[in-house]
Amino acid sequence: MHDETPVTEARGHLRSAERDLVALGIATAAMLLFVGTGGSVLPQVLNAWSGKGNGPDGLLVNALLLNIALIIFGWRRYSELQREVNERRRAEAQALQLAQTDALTGCLNRRRIGSATAALVASARTQGRAVATLMLDLDKFKQVNDLSGHMAGDSVLVEVAGRLREILPEGALLARLGGDEFACTIEYDPRHPNQVDRLAARIIEQVARPIRIDGNDAYITASVGIASTEHAPEADDQLLLHHADIAMYHSKQRGRNRYFWFEGSMESELRFRNELETGIRRGIAAGEFSPYYQQQIDLETGELVGFEMLARWHSPQLGSVSPEIFIPIAEEIGVIAELSELLIRRALEDAKEWDESLSLAVNISPIQLRDPWFAQKLLRMLVESGFPPHRLDIEITESCLHENIVHCPLGHHQPQKPGRPHQPGRLRHRLFQPGPAAFPALRPAQDRPQLRARTGRGRL
């Protein structure tokens, strides 16, 4: 609705200006009256000046003067009106362009690409040709804005739009849908679908070229999804865009910087993922997640030394869901910390009832490791539960430690004790440095939880 306002106003003003053309009619009528009145008055005036007769009738003279005034007024108004009409027509054309194109890149916008694609599809069907829509999203574009500012981000978008125009075939449509999303629609021979593959590969190649910004090179990539009327003959413009968007999301999920054609299974996968996201949020609130304890055995003595807490989800709607499925999704939607803390609290309560020689190991997500308050949160859980801190092991993957070493809130490396052999895959750290006044009961180093980095895929 907002985009239509300038066009509607301009058209309203134009119709108003065209109605004012009545001024031209008045001037024309005045000219005709001038001819009629002047034909009677002017001879009398000439006769009066030559002394051959009386002067003209005063009423006719006044009518003649009025006609002259109306002619001057009407002509001037008509000239001004013409200029106003021309200016308003230009304003209407400009408003129409703004309503249909993206102001930054000059591409079509989301509103316009739909109708333009529909027209292209209708035309292609009459000629026995197919139409393909390619949706592309710039990978990690947010980093450009964060590191170099939004002006730099705008420059990247303009450059990408220019590169796309250079490689698109004649008659192709190019639109910026918003943010860092673009859509291209092309007509092609259905007997040669590799034309679309070559175009998608070239788009990825061109976008990946470095972009010079303020003396520095910015590197971005593109994930592309493709949908075609050849695979869905009854597809309209909206369905093409929808399918291409699903295929583009699939490209991102498969590693970015690549393209995929739309397949029906992708839509089913997307629906299932949405069900999982909803189920995870609902399951946390409903207490559907529970800790599961896996034994830890000392390989040298064969003795049980503790348990590792793992997460299990028993959903009433989805059944038992593997942690390899729900944990990455919980990380992506930002609920992994809430889920982790919920399970750790329950595990600490359970572990209090174990033999004092048994330890409890919990796995920490990389997202939690980036939280500067994670240490304080864990300390609070320990204090509230009354679980002995020295019996708690925090386990992370080595890759997680390398990623987060700068932001790690868990303190510094604990030196290996002299004469004690290093255990492969197990790297101990001091977990906290709370200071002498914080949690006095945890001041002694031997009473603090231990952190282990291991080579396995230890997760929550």
DSSP-based helix, strand, coil % in the chain, nearest 5: 55, 20, 30
The percentage of residues in the chain with a pLDDT greater than 90, rounded to a whole number, is: 50
Q: What is the DSSP letter of 457?
A: -
The domain 272-454: what is its CATH number? Answer: 3.20.20.450
C-alpha to C-alpha distance for 186 and 123, rounded to whole angstroms: 12
Q: What is the pLDDT of residues 408-444, one digit of tens each?
A: 555 443 433 433 333 333 333 333 333 333 333 344 4
Q: Domain residue spans in the chain?
A: 5-100, 110-262, 272-454
How many residues belong to the chain? 460
pLDDT at 361 over 80: yes
How many alpha carbons fall within 13 Å on the CB side of residue 304?
Answer: 11
* Phi, psi at 178, each rounded to 5°: 135, 145
Q: Where is pLDDT greater, at 77 or 271?
A: 271
3-class state of residue 431 by DSSP: coil
pLDDT at 5 over 60: no
Q: What is the pLDDT of residues 107-144, one digit of tens each?
A: 999 888 999 999 999 999 999 999 999 999 999 898 89
Ranking 248-262, 337-351, 389-403 by mean pLDDT, the lowest is 389-403
Report the range out of 28-37, 191-200, 210-219, 445-454 with the highest average pLDDT: 191-200
Q: What is the DSSP letter of 440?
A: G
C-alpha to C-alpha distance for 320 and 314, rounded to whole angstroms: 4
C-alpha to C-alpha distance for 249 and 259, rounded to whole angstroms: 10
> Which band of pLDDT confidence, cut at 50, 70 and 90, is reported for residue 36?
low
Q: What is the pLDDT of residues 46-70, one digit of tens each?
A: 666 666 666 666 676 677 677 777 7
Ranking 60-64, 151-155, 222-226 by mean pLDDT, the lowest is 60-64
> Which band of pLDDT confidence, cut at 50, 70 and 90, is reported for residue 80?
confident
| Exposed / middle / buried, residue 326 (Cβ in 10 Å: 0-12, 13-18, 19+) | buried
pLDDT at 312 over 70: yes
The pLDDT of residue 20 is: 59
Q: What is the pLDDT of residues 267-292, one digit of tens each?
A: 998 899 999 999 999 999 999 999 99
> Which band of pLDDT confidence, cut at 50, 70 and 90, is reported for residue 92?
confident
Q: Domain 110-262, what architecture?
A: 2-Layer Sandwich (3.30)
The pLDDT of residue 96 is: 66
How many alpha carbons fall within 13 Å on the CB side of residue 169?
Answer: 12
Mean pLDDT for 66-82 is: 75
- Other beta carbons within 10 angstroms of residue 298's beta carbon come to 10
- CA distances to 13, 45, 152, 154, 213 from 149, rounded to whole Å, are 41, 81, 6, 9, 11
C-alpha to C-alpha distance for 280 and 333, rounded to whole angstroms: 10
Q: What is the DSSP letter of 257?
A: S
Nearest to 325 by CA among 285, 284, 269: 269
The pLDDT of residue 12 is: 52
